[in-house]
Amino acid sequence: MTVMTLTGNYAVAYAVKLARVQVISAYPITPQTTIVEKLSEMVDTGELKAKMVRVESEHAALATVFGAASAGARAFTATASHGLLYMHEVVWWAAASRIPLVMAVVARAIGPPWNIHVDHQDIFDQRDTGWIISVAQENQEVLDLTLQAFRISEDPRVYLPMMVGLDGFILSHTMAPVDVPDQEEVDDWLPPRRQPYYIAPETGVVMGNIVPDDDYYMLRYSMQKAMEQAKKVIEEVDREYGKRFGRSYGGLVECTLCDDADYYIVITGSWAGEAKEAARKLREEGYRVGVARIRFIRPWPGEMVRELAARAKGLVVFDRAISFGSKGPLFLDVAATAYGLTSMRGVIGGLGGSDVTADDIAGVVRDFVGEVEEKGSVYEPLYWLFPAKYRGKFEAKEVVA
């Protein structure tokens, strides 16, 4: 193990190298670019023995690594925002082909207007595609998740591709000390890829041709079953990784200050750091607040969220994305899991990288607790945490069903 000072993007690149990825293909997009640059350098200098296919678009990038993985190679790509949207068709294709792959998604707002800063709209746009979708809080976790992604994706109980989400700039371009495991240790923990089906002259395997409708239905059913299995695999891999490398994150959900909490902040991504700080402040004021950081938005950790909801006085869900005409996508999942069990508020904040501080989060939670204590039960699915300069000029609580 070596401690290196790495940006989130370089943490991705080092994990890809340690995983002995064989084929890489990517198209540059801010803020993912330095992943491609670092990997190109590693391949060109021979530090990483892999093929780097420098394609002309993201659609091609994912198709390239999908082709490589279909032939049985370990493959990786990375993108962000518009790049992810552009490859969306292939995102579906890769998952439903049940081909293990890993992709880093450096979360960034979607235009127009152009904005290169973080929100989670791009990641949530992929929510229903059949990919395992994880979101990291900090750079160490970026490296750990990227390594674990190969184990999870290639597990025979899963065989689904996996995204590792990391917040644009806040993680991707910010340096932090990262424990980088030794190659031998990783080799021992992550064996070479084995896949029972792959395309080669001798296998005669055909992938993706037409199926009867009823069989199509059953293939979709099998993807859902694989997602359920993936929950177990994710927990297992997290535990094993902890034993081997000394870091465990609690599996699908990382719960902080949860033991005696009455209220929970439900959140995903790097701003969980601010949420934790807010919870600590609130505890000093006497509020018993915990933070449930959703590490995996797919498979959805329904059991754990329901468990929390059953013992909570209330949940405050923070979304950095919105499903226009409805609510925040994280809130929708929480509400579908926990509706009726407890009070809820769905907060929309930090769109397009607009700043959200620990004090902002604490303020929303304080206000929510006050309302719950006063009214007994609160259901507020759409609460706007406006950027500071617009706060007070618009109504934060929107009345919707």
Partner 1 sequence: MVVRIQDLPRRRYGMPGNAACPGCPEAMGLRYIKMALGDNVVLVIPAGCSSVIQGIWPKSGINFPILNIVFASAASAAAGMKAAFEMMGRDDVHVVVWAGDGGTADIGFQSMSGAAERNDDIIYIVADNEAYMNTGIQRSGLTPYGAWTTTTPLGKKEHKKNLPFIMIAHDVPYVATASVGYPHDFIEKLRKAAKIRGFRYIHLHAPDPVGWRFDPSLTPKVAQLAVKTGMWPLFEYDRGVFRLSPFSKPYKDPSKRTPIIEYLKLQGRFRHIIDKPEEIKKLEEYVDRLWYWIDALEKAFNPSEKARELLSRHA
Q: What is the closest distance, in whole angstroms, from the C-beta atom of residue 193 to partner 1 in the complex?
A: 10
| Residue 330 to residue 283: CA distance in whole angstroms | 25
Q: What is the closest distance, in whole angstroms, from the C-beta atom of residue 202 to partner 1 in the complex?
A: 8
Does 199 interact with partner 1 (rule: CB under 8 A)? Answer: yes
Q: Which of residues 79-118 bind partner 1 (CB under 8 A)?
A: 89-90, 93
Q: Are 109 and 118 in contact (CB under 8 A)?
A: yes
Of residues 61, 265, 291, 356, which one binds partner 1 by CB under 8 A? 61
Contacts 24+ apart (CB under 8 A), 204-208: 207/70, 207/97, 208/93, 208/97
Extract the tokens encoding 219.
Answer: 């293939």
Instruction: Name residues whose C-beta falls within 8 Å of residue 118's C-beta, 6 or more positions apart in sequence.
Output: 107, 108, 109, 167, 168, 169, 170, 269, 270, 320, 350, 353
| Residue 161 to residue 198: CA distance in whole angstroms | 15
| Beta pairing, strands 289-294 & 176-180 | unpaired
Q: What is the closest distance, in whole angstroms, from the C-beta atom of residue 206 to partner 1 in the complex?
A: 4
Q: What is the closest distance, in whole angstroms, from the C-beta atom of residue 250 to partner 1 in the complex?
A: 35
- Nearest CA-CA partner of 272 in 264, 261, 284, 260: 264
Cβ neighbours of 358 (radius 10 Å): 18
Half-sphere exposure of 9 (CA within 13 A, CB side): 23
Does 46 interact with partner 1 (rule: CB under 8 A)? Answer: no
Q: Which of residues 378-397 bind partner 1 (CB under 8 A)?
A: none
Of residues 54, 232, 281, 288, which one binds partner 1 by CB under 8 A? 54
Choose between 207 and 336: whose C-beta lies nearer to partner 1.
207
Contacts 24+ apart (CB under 8 A), 206-214: 207/70, 207/97, 208/93, 208/97
Q: How many residues bind partner 1 (CB under 8 A)?
A: 43
Q: 185 to each of 79, 141, 241, 339, how far by Cα in Å?
A: 28, 18, 11, 44
Q: What is the closest distance, in whole angstroms, from the C-beta atom of residue 194 to partner 1 in the complex?
A: 13
Which of 11-19, 71-79, 134-142, 385-393 is the region at the interface with partner 1 (rule: CB under 8 A)?
A: 71-79
Choose between 94 and 234: whose C-beta lies nearer to partner 1.
94
Q: 386 to each of 349, 392, 394, how far by Cα in Å?
A: 7, 8, 8
Choose between 207 and 388: whose C-beta lies nearer to partner 1.
207
Q: What is the closest distance, in whole angstroms, from the C-beta atom of residue 328 to partner 1 in the complex?
A: 30
Q: What is the closest distance, in whole angstroms, from the C-beta atom of residue 199 to partner 1 in the complex?
A: 5
Q: State the DSSP code for 193.
A: P
Q: What is the closest distance, in whole angstroms, from the C-beta atom of residue 203 to partner 1 in the complex?
A: 6
Q: Which of residues 204-243 bind partner 1 (CB under 8 A)?
A: 204-212, 215
- At residue 235, φ and ψ (nearest 5 deg) are -65, -45
- At residue 304, φ and ψ (nearest 5 deg) are -70, -40
H or E segment to which residue 88 belongs: helix 88-96
Choose between 103 and 266: whose C-beta lies nearer to partner 1.
103
Choose between 215 and 228: whose C-beta lies nearer to partner 1.
215
Instruction: Name residues whose C-beta falls within 8 Å of residue 146's C-beta, 6 or more positions apart in sequence.
Output: 11, 12, 15, 16, 19, 102, 104, 164
Choose between 60 and 176: whose C-beta lies nearer to partner 1.
60
Of residues 201, 325, 376, 392, which one binds partner 1 by CB under 8 A? 201
Q: What is the closest distance, in whole angstroms, from the C-beta atom of residue 52 to partner 1 in the complex?
A: 9
Which of 56-64, 105-113, 315-323, 387-395 is the region at the interface with partner 1 (rule: CB under 8 A)?
A: 56-64
Choose between 74 and 108: whose C-beta lies nearer to partner 1.
74
Which of 35-43, 57-65, 268-276, 361-369 is the region at the interface with partner 1 (rule: CB under 8 A)?
A: 57-65
Q: What is the closest distance, in whole angstroms, from the C-beta atom of residue 159 to partner 1 in the complex?
A: 16
Does 196 interact with partner 1 (rule: CB under 8 A)? Answer: no
Q: Which of residues 12-41 bind partner 1 (CB under 8 A)?
A: 22-23, 25
Positions touching partner 1 (CB under 8 A) are 22-23, 25, 50-51, 53-57, 59-73, 75, 89-90, 93, 199-201, 203-212, 215
